[in-house]
Amino acid sequence: MLHKALRRLAIGFGLVLAVVTITFLLINLAPGEPARLWVAPGATEAELENTRRVLGLDRPLPARYVAWLGDFVRGDWGTSIAQQRPVVRILGGALPHTLLLSGGSLLLTYLVGVVVGAFQAAKRRTAWDTTLTVGNLVIFGMPAYWLAIMLVLTFAYAGARYGWPVWLQFPAMGVASLDADFLTPWGRVIDRLRHLALPLVTLSLIGIAGTSRFVRGAVLETRGQAFVNAARARGLPRLAIEGRYVIRNALLPIITLLGLSLPALFSGTVFVEVIFAWPGMGREIVTAVGARDYPVVMATTAIFAVLVVAGNLLADVLYAVADPRIRERPA
Amino acid sequence: MTRGHALLRDRRAVIGLGILSVLVFVALLAPLLAPMDPNAQPDILRTRFLAPLSAGPDGTMHWLGTDRFGRDILSRLMYGSRISLTVGVLSVAVSVVLGCAVGIAAAVGGGWIERALMAVTDTVLAMPRLVVLLALVALWEPSLLLVVLVLGLTGWMGIARLARAEVKGILARPYLDAARALGVSGPRLMWRHLLPNTMTPVIVAAALAVGNAITLESGLSFLGIGVPPPAPSWGSMIATGRDALVHAPWIATFPGIAIVLAVVATNLIGDSVRDVLDPTTRTAGVDRG
């Protein structure tokens, strides 16, 4: 068991290393001259040459890679070209915002998604099921950024224009109001939550649509299997069959889905952060990419890769916890 | 009953194919169907921000209104379907070819070849796709070709895994040995026996991937790094509409509906094809409707 865990950890580490290496190569082989971003427009060739030397850009690619990797591992992630601040400090400020948003959405997605999917399976072929199936299909087909814009249109703009009750109106951007410092501590919490509402709902709605589609199928598939029939034949009460046999087995593939859905979740986060001016990693990378801010792009990619790999490892562990067959299988 | 009949008996497939045919029809005949030139800006002051169902100063009807440059939204939507469908289909074609090549090579090669190819697959799979897309597209010069290539080159991993698993399953079956014993040559074995039998899940995955690619292309264009303007990509239309959300909400609304329709259509077809072609889901009595 320990051996297996260590092996998985080593593989995960290798994956992250491979991802940052590929990113490094992609960025360094792309057309465009990073040194130009540092000098004023109209700099002479000599000044450009000097900048390249100072930044170490005149050295061969492998040497730069080794130097960069060494610094990176030691926690020196360089300085942002656009913001002239240490990358560590920029991303250190952004990461909690992204984790709050994506973590909250993950929680809602699976809690609500499993309930909705199981409900649909229980009410199969009723009007409820049909309505929810169509709803899931449509929401699942929406680009996150468009859903976000439509929610802003409805709950921020239309709400204000037509004077909806306050609890139906939500702020369209940022994490807190400008006057948040003057609010009572309790008021500040409410203010934060109100700002979180629309971004969180955007991400979660799409996640819930995908998850409940999956759960509905998984529950129905499990219910058709022989061991469920056997349990029914033994005269077990319906609730026991559903709870102990069907749901538990149907939930197993959902754990795998959890690991696999992380990249999509982070993609959604990028768009949602851009729309809602949410100061997280996604907005940071979009700005950095636009400004060709290489150090920030590198670091953000690395962090996203770590999160994805860690999520998959977590899913593996959860799977082993939930399914004794996996746990006891020899490595 | 043939598979085609089964597909046509499935309501999802009929709806999906219906929507898709309309989209393809519109895309092919956009120059004939569109009421005006998608990039025409007739009289900027008098034709911009016209609400849906209002007529311009010259009496032409703007069914879905105009944007802030006075361009007709319906015409732009129609031309935009060309971009979405082209990018969706071509990028998935790239993914399918690459994914099948990697997957089949891994399964047939076995040993260290398989391990190496699957390690590469897992690595690319661990990269957050949008972040890679952002980095790639922003660092190179934006163009339609770049978007197709980049989407294709970042979307093949799932297909590679599927193809590998399928081929491994088939390699273990006796009919392949039988064919070999009958003296069927290597390439023929590949084309006639291996490929057709691995295609089912790949087709399903490809159908679902088209919708995903359409969404991603629109997303990149929304961020301003996809298909460069003035091409009427649905994503960049939404970006234009976002700036005028308060007083001209229709600009951002309609292209989004178009995207949802396209994605829902491909998802419906994908789901239906999977259930029709995959006998296991039928014997299990699962109804994913």
Please state the separation of Cα A217 from the chain's center in Å: 24
Per-residue pLDDT at B280 exceeds 60: no
Is A216 an interface residue toward B (CB < 8 Å)? yes
Mean pLDDT value across residues B118-128 = 83
For residues A310 and A308, what is the distance between their CA atoms, to the nearest angstrom?
5
Residue from the list B223, B259, B286 with its beta carbon closest to the beta carbon of A220: B286
Min Cα separation A289/chain B (Å): 6
Per-residue pLDDT at A327 exceeds 70: no
Task: Provide the 10 A C-beta neighbour count for residue B22.
Answer: 13
Specify the 3-state DSSP secondary structure of A282: helix
Number of A–B residue contacts, CB under 8 Å = 151
Specify the 3-state DSSP secondary structure of A86: strand
Question: Higher model confidence: residue A162 or residue A260?
Answer: A162
Per-residue pLDDT at B258 exceeds 90: yes
Cβ neighbors of A275 (< 8 A, separation 6 or more) are: A145, A148, A149, A152, A199, A202, B242
Residue B282 pLDDT grade (very low, low, confident, very high; cuts 50, 70, 90): very low
Min Cα separation A136/chain B (Å): 10
Residue B99 pLDDT grade (very low, low, confident, very high; cuts 50, 70, 90): very high
Residue A331 pLDDT grade (very low, low, confident, very high; cuts 50, 70, 90): very low
Q: At what angle do helices A144-151 and A248-275 cross, to 10 degrees?
A: 70
Min Cα separation A185/chain B (Å): 32
CB B213 within 8 A of CB B221: no
Greatest CA span in chain B, whole angstroms? 77
Which amino acid, one-letter code, is at A131? Answer: T
Q: In chain A, whose CA is at the least distance from the CA of B258?
A: A142
Per-residue pLDDT at A13 exceeds 60: yes
Q: Report the share of chain A in percent with pLDDT over 90.
A: 27
For residues B27 and B120, what is the distance between their CA atoms, to the nearest angstrom?
37
CB B92 within 8 A of CB B211: no
Question: B61: part of which helix (H) or strand (E)?
Answer: strand B61-62
Interface test with B, best of A145, A292, A312 (most B CBs within 10 A): A145
Mean pLDDT value across residues B2-12 = 76
For residues A41 and A43, what is the distance between their CA atoms, to the nearest angstrom?
6
Q: Report the share of chain B in percent with pLDDT over 90.
A: 36
Per-residue pLDDT at B281 exceeds 60: no
Q: Which of A105-114, A228-237, B15-24, B196-205 has the lowest mean pLDDT?
A: B196-205
Q: In chain A, whose CA is at the least distance from the CA of B280?
A: A221
Is residue A197 classed exposed, middle or buried when 0-12, 13-18 and 19+ CB atoms within 10 A define those classes? middle
Residue B3 pLDDT grade (very low, low, confident, very high; cuts 50, 70, 90): low
Per-residue pLDDT at B116 exceeds 60: yes
Q: Classify residue B245 by its DSSP letter.
A: T
The structure tokens 């957050």 sit at B128
**Contact call for B252 and A224, based on CB within 8 A:** no
Mean pLDDT value across residues A97-115 = 93
Residue B101 pLDDT grade (very low, low, confident, very high; cuts 50, 70, 90): very high
Please report the pLDDT score of residue A1 as a whole number: 65
Please report the pLDDT score of residue A24 as a whole number: 85
Please report the pLDDT score of residue B74 as a whole number: 93
Please report the pLDDT score of residue A138 as a whole number: 94
CB B138 within 8 A of CB B147: no
For residues A126 and B225, what is the distance between their CA atoms, to the nearest angstrom?
45
Read off the pLDDT of residues A130-152 as tens digits, 9 standing for 90 and up. 999 999 999 999 999 999 999 99
Per-residue pLDDT at B91 exceeds 90: yes
Q: Find the angle CA(A197)-CA(A203)-CA(A204) to the nearest 5 degrees.
A: 80
For residues A96 and A124, what is the distance between their CA atoms, to the nearest angstrom?
41
Average pLDDT score over chain B: 85
ipTM for this model: 0.88
Please, which contacts does B17-24 make with residues 24 or more away whose CB atoms are closer than 8 Å? B17/B265, B17/B269, B18/B265, B19/B261, B19/B262, B19/B264, B19/B265, B19/B268, B20/B262, B20/B265, B20/B266, B20/B269, B23/B81, B23/B85, B23/B261, B23/B262, B23/B265, B24/B85
Mean pLDDT value across residues B155-174 = 87
For residues A237 and A234, what is the distance between their CA atoms, to the nearest angstrom?
9
The structure tokens 């990619």 sit at A301
Integer-rounded Cα radius of gyration of chain B: 23
Which amino acid, one-letter code, is at A237? Answer: P
Residue from the list B128, B211, B255 with its beta carbon closest to the beta carbon of A308: B128
For residues B17 and A327, what is the distance between their CA atoms, to the nearest angstrom?
44
Read off the pLDDT of residues A189-199 as tens digits, 9 standing for 90 and up. 888 899 999 99
Per-residue pLDDT at A48 exceeds 90: no
Q: Classify residue B192 by its DSSP letter.
A: I
Residue B217 pLDDT grade (very low, low, confident, very high; cuts 50, 70, 90): very high
Which amino acid, one-letter code, is at A105? Answer: S
B262 φ/ψ angles, rounded to the nearest 5 degrees: -60, -45
ω into B230 cis (within 30 of 0)? yes
Which amino acid, one-letter code, is at B217? Answer: E
Per-residue pLDDT at A324 exceeds 80: no
For residues A140 and B212, what is the distance between their CA atoms, to the nearest angstrom?
10
Interface test with B, best of A25, A139, A146, A300 (most B CBs within 10 A): A146
For residues A312 and A99, what is the distance between their CA atoms, to the nearest angstrom?
16
Residue B93 pLDDT grade (very low, low, confident, very high; cuts 50, 70, 90): very high
**Contact call for A217 and B288, based on CB within 8 A:** yes
Specify the 3-state DSSP secondary structure of B166: helix
B53 in the Ramachandran plot: left (φ > 0), alpha (ψ -120 to 50) or beta?
A: left
